[in-house]
Amino acid sequence: MDLTLIRFGTGKHELTASPTGDRDMCIMEAVAYMAGEPWSDYPRCACPVISAFLRHWNDALSNEERDRLLPAAVWVPRLVGSRSVRPVWIQRAYLALDWTVRTYLPLYLDLISDLRGQAAELRDLPEIVDLRSSEEALWAAREVKDKIWPFAETARAGLCNAAGGLAKGPAFVLEEAGYLNLQKIAAASYQAARSAALSMAVVVEPTKGLTPTVSAIEMATVWFVCGVAKRARREHPGDPDAPHAAVEAALRPAISQFPQTTLDLLNRMFAAGEESSKAPAEGPDNAV
């Protein structure tokens, strides 16, 4: 099969007598097929951490994004034989956790001028490479969370108590402003990294421990977006597209960085073990 012609689909697929590569396989099924393994999206030849990452990212991307970011001719050859050994798997899982703390969260915080100091705090943390550094990062993330909630509550109260309030509710405002479509780009990257981190038992607890901080940042962003949309509607009352345009302008500089930073993470995970990627397959994955 010509890898340059493959376009990945989403979810699990049934093996057909002659797969065409036209949306009838996901990226990990293509790896198993090209490696001559039984049809599966859990190929033995591939690293379980990178596989967990790509199973989620593959399915979360649109067809257009997937074709652009995950061309089969680039990634399938790298995935075949990427399995490596358990210490490398753990190293790769910590890379995913590190990306979440020092890249994903700061990009969101950068959206809000009052929270950019907290973004700098997270970026300046030492790289997360083991349990000790993950615990230190988790402590710092909790401190950031405690600073974010008061901002989020103040923003919410200000919007709801202002003249006119949010007459149609925040959910309507977010949909009208196009936030949900923009947010999907960031969410796809975050969930892929989270899946990778959770695939190794030793990284599960610090990964789960980040959830309250992620929730706080996302809530602060929601109220920030509502404020942007409401201000645009007030300043341009005759333009129904004004909220969407204002939110796009406010979020796009940060949101647009997620695809490339996610690719950078993927490349770092490969690089972490490429010197031992031809090692014999081990026993059952240390997955949860």
pLDDT of residue 221: 87
Verify that 147 and 17 share a domain, yes or no.
no
Verify that 106 and 40 share a domain, yes or no.
no
Q: How far apart are CA 57 and CA 36, in angstroms?
A: 24
Q: Tell me the average pLDDT across 88-95.
A: 98
Does any domain span residue 281? no
Q: Tell me the average pLDDT across 31-57.
A: 97
Final residue before a domain boundary, out of 67, 83, 99: 83
Does any domain span residue 76? yes
Verify that 130 and 36 share a domain, yes or no.
no
pLDDT of residue 277: 46
Verify that 199 and 244 share a domain, yes or no.
yes
Verify that 35 and 94 share a domain, yes or no.
no
Verify that 209 and 161 share a domain, yes or no.
yes
Confidence of residue 287 (pLDDT cuts 50, 70, 90): very low
* Domain count within the chain: 2
Q: Tell me the average pLDDT across 11-16.
A: 84
Residue 63: give the domain boundaries: 3-83
Nearest to 225 by CA among 275, 152, 162, 279: 152
pLDDT of residue 18: 81
Q: Tell me the average pLDDT across 218-234.
A: 86
Does any domain span residue 280? no
Does any domain span residue 183? yes
How does pLDDT run across 92-122, given as a tens digit for each residue? 999 999 999 999 999 989 988 889 999 999 9
Verify that 204 and 133 share a domain, yes or no.
yes
- Dihedral sign for Cα atoms in the order 226, 231, 237, 242: negative
Q: Give the tokens for residue 94.
A: 């910590």
Verify that 33 and 162 share a domain, yes or no.
no
pLDDT of residue 173: 65
Does any domain span residue 282? no
- Dihedral sign for Cα atoms in the order 63, 66, 71, 75: negative
pLDDT at 279 over 60: no
**Beta-bridge mates of residue 22:** 7
Final residue before a domain boundary, out of 50, 83, 116: 83
Verify that 162 and 220 share a domain, yes or no.
yes
Does any domain span residue 59? yes
Verify that 233 and 107 share a domain, yes or no.
yes
Does any domain span residue 73? yes
Confidence of residue 166 (pLDDT cuts 50, 70, 90): low
Report which DSSP code applies to 24: S
What are all long-range contacts of 151-160, with beta carbons under 8 Å and residues at least 24 apart? 151/112, 151/114, 151/115, 151/220, 152/216, 152/219, 152/220, 152/223, 155/220, 155/223, 155/224, 155/226, 155/227, 156/223, 158/227, 159/223, 159/226, 159/227, 159/230
> What is the percent of the chain where pLDDT is above 70?
89
Verify that 216 and 268 share a domain, yes or no.
yes
Q: Tell me the average pLDDT across 128-147.
A: 95
Verify that 221 and 263 share a domain, yes or no.
yes
Does any domain span residue 108? yes
How does pLDDT run across 182-205, given as a tens digit for each residue? 788 899 999 999 999 999 999 999
pLDDT of residue 283: 45
Distances from the Cα of 246 to the Cα of 33, 45, 102, 225, 229, angstroms: 46, 47, 27, 9, 7
Average pLDDT over the chain reads 88
Contact partners, residue 233, CB within 8 Å, separation at least 6: 242, 243
Q: Tell me the average pLDDT across 32-48.
A: 96
More confident call, 284 vs 189: 189
pLDDT of residue 101: 97
Final residue before a domain boundary, out of 83, 100, 133: 83
